[in-house]
Amino acid sequence: MTIHREDILRLRDNRWLNDELVNFYGALIMERANNQPEKYPAIHFFNTFFYPLLAEYGYTKVERWTRKIDLFAKELVFVPIHLGAHWCCAVIDIKQKRIDYYDPLLSNNPQCHQILQEYLGNEAKAKKGIELDLSEWTLNTPKQENSYDCGVFSCQYAEYRSRKSPLTFSQRHMHQFREQMIYEIVSVNLIN
């Protein structure tokens, strides 16, 4: 995966994050978890193109995305979601049977919950040959104060959750996070 100077400038200039930045940061989070399984939970971080394909075309369009991955062996599954000009992040907590939907504007998205529940049901049936009781799965929606920090918020939701840390940040941390993400992406290494 390649990040260009223009991508990095999006972090420096208080602009919206693009797919490349979100995907690269997600890959860093996943790599850290894979390299230190004794310290971090087993995770999977979907590419930003996963959710739009799933939402528009259904399970059959994304079924092959996990042919070499057992999602049910993971503790957390991260799904970055781009809604036009706004980033959110869904976290499927396999152990807790819960889908957390992190939206820095604090909006609720029941359609996302339904789409991801249906996906999990189809994935369990196709890959495990089992029927999931999806009635047990709940939706949890845990603020951004401008129109451009949603991508940074969403990446940080994922980063914090991937190491099981409480979400203790707010709008006032965004400039620091942007600088930190520049360093992490350029050095290809997460600080925490």
**Choosing from 103, 112, 113, 155, which is the catalytic residue?**
103
* Domains of the chain (ranges, CATH numbers): 5-187 (3.40.395.10)
- 150 counts as catalytic: yes
Name which residue leads in pLDDT, 105 or 181: 181
Q: What pLDDT was estimated at residue 40?
A: 97
- Assess whether 173 carries a catalytic annotation: no
- For residues 124 and 72, the answer to whether their CB atoms sit within 8 Å is yes
pLDDT of residue 140: 67
Catalytic residue among 88, 89, 112, 150, which? 150
Work out the number of other CB atoms within 10 angstroms of the CB of residue 164. Answer: 10
pLDDT for residue 56: 96
- Residue 33 burial (10 A CB sphere; 0-12, 13-18, 19+): buried
Residue 93 is among the residues annotated as catalytic for this protein: no
Helix (H, G, I), strand (E, B) or coil at 188: coil
Task: Point out the catalytic residue in the list 86, 88, 100, 149.
Answer: 86
What tens digit of pLDDT does each residue of 138-189 get?
A: 766 557 788 888 999 999 999 999 999 988 888 889 999 999 999 999 999 9
Per-residue model confidence (pLDDT) at position 124: 95
pLDDT over threshold 90, residue 70: yes
